[in-house]
Amino acid sequence: MPVTSVEKDLDQLTITIVADFTAPLRRLWDAYTDPRQLERFWGPPTYPATFLRHDAVAGGRSVYVMTGPEGDAHYGCWEWTSADAPRAFEVLDSFADEAGQPDLGLPTTRMDFAFEETNGGSRLKTTSHFDSLEHMQQLLEMGMLEGTRQAMAQIDTVLADLASFATERKAEAQVLSDTQVRVARVIRGTVDQVWRAHTDAALMKKWLLGPDGWSMPVCEVATAVGDTYRYEWQRDGGDERFGFTGELLESEEPYRAVTTEAMIGMDFPATLNELTLTAVEGGTLLSLVITYANAEQRDAVLATGMTDGMETSYQRLEGMLQPTLA
């Protein structure tokens, strides 16, 4: 078990947990900033977590749900108050409702995560700050300390699993809920490069093409919140054509953009697309959380081979970025 010490300070209203790992510092940092990895250990084994949003930057938010053995769901959220990769970050950790909004009737905990290199690998010191002794005692009685121990006991397995999160892996779709899917892939390029590739029409026409044999004659980009976009593709040498349109709802350059997306000429419900870019070792983790109207729409879209088409586009993007990085 990685936990080496637990210290409760009733005067300072803090609990400090120290854990040591044989993995390098950057590997440990990435485990906390990559939602695919974090959700494999944030909850204890009987209450695994699923991260529906994870912005590993100052000013960002994270929303997660822990699901119990009886199917009971418990939501939580983080407000990121600071982030200094790969050394430290601080969040306000709150209980939340299904919409990811803090539950003001339950305590909020300020949590400091400090990462450092050691002779044997890396160390994480997590300090939880409580508003009052009453809140501290309330969370301890709810099993906070034991749950944290159980959760952290799972980290070594995640750190040892290099293959599941390697830069060589193709784009993969993970079902998060009845209506949500997360497509994730590490792009070998910087966050700024990947952001520009998604916001520069001239670049998008070069890589966002899906399978070979298609062009993108229409690429009207939304540049400000409230703007609409329109993308259309056409098969080379033919009349077959399709496209999407939608609105830019949120934009936090260069790490987060939220849009709606509706297929042109079709009476399908629009999806909500949440794009997050996170710097990780080897490149940029692209995470796209798509919310559908229902499970039937979700399954129908996945059955089209959507992820394969996205992977082809991402390979094309990497081919454009590699000469720049060389």
- pLDDT tens, 233-292? 999 998 899 999 999 999 999 999 999 999 999 888 999 999 999 999 999 999 999 999
Which of 26, 22, 30, 27 has the alpha carbon at shortest distance from 4?
22
- Using pLDDT thresholds of 50, 70 and 90, give the confidence band for residue 323: low
Mean pLDDT computed over 313-324: 88
Residue appearing with tokens 């994480």:
124
More confident residue, 145 or 69: 69
Instruction: Specify the 3-state DSSP secondary structure of 202.
Output: helix
- Is the separation of the CB atoms in 42 and 54 below 8 Å? no
- Is the separation of the CB atoms in 38 and 151 below 8 Å? no
- pLDDT tens, 150-180? 888 899 999 999 888 988 899 999 999 999 9
List the beta bridge partners of residue 94. 77, 108
Q: Report how far residue 204's alpha carbon sits from residue 183's, in angstroms, rounded to the nearest whole number.
A: 19
- Is the separation of the CB atoms in 222 and 247 below 8 Å? yes
Q: Report how far residue 223's alpha carbon sits from residue 15's, in angstroms, rounded to the nearest whole number.
A: 45
- pLDDT tens, 25-74? 999 999 999 999 999 999 889 999 999 999 999 999 999 999 999 999 99
Give the dihedral sign, CA 116/57/33/69: positive
Task: Identify the pLDDT of residue 144.
Answer: 86
* φ, ψ of residue 213 in degrees (nearest 5): 100, 10
- Using pLDDT thresholds of 50, 70 and 90, give the confidence band for residue 326: very low
* Residue 295 tokens, joined: 């499970």
Domains belonging to the chain, first-starting first, are 3-161 (3.30.530.20), 172-325 (3.30.530.20)
- Using pLDDT thresholds of 50, 70 and 90, give the confidence band for residue 322: confident
Task: Identify the pLDDT of residue 147.
Answer: 84
Instruction: Specify the 3-state DSSP secondary structure of 193.
Output: helix
Residue appearing with tokens 């969370």:
139
The edge-to-edge listing of strands for the beta sheet with 49-54 is 3-9, 14-21, 121-129, 108-118, 88-96, 73-84, 61-67, 49-54
- pLDDT tens, 107-125? 999 999 999 999 999 999 9
Q: H helices then E strands: how many in the chain?
A: 9, 16
Mean pLDDT computed over 183-187: 97
Task: Identify the pLDDT of residue 149.
Answer: 85
Task: Identify the pLDDT of residue 324.
Answer: 59
- The CA-based angle 54-146-93, given to 5 degrees, is 30
Task: Identify the pLDDT of residue 91.
Answer: 98
- Is the separation of the CB atoms in 114 and 87 below 8 Å? yes
* φ, ψ of residue 59 in degrees (nearest 5): 90, -5
Q: Report how far residue 221's alpha carbon sits from residue 245's, in angstroms, rounded to the nearest whole number.
A: 10
Residue appearing with tokens 């080496």:
4
- pLDDT tens, 198-217? 999 999 999 999 899 999 99
Residue 57 CB: number of other CB atoms within 10 A?
A: 21
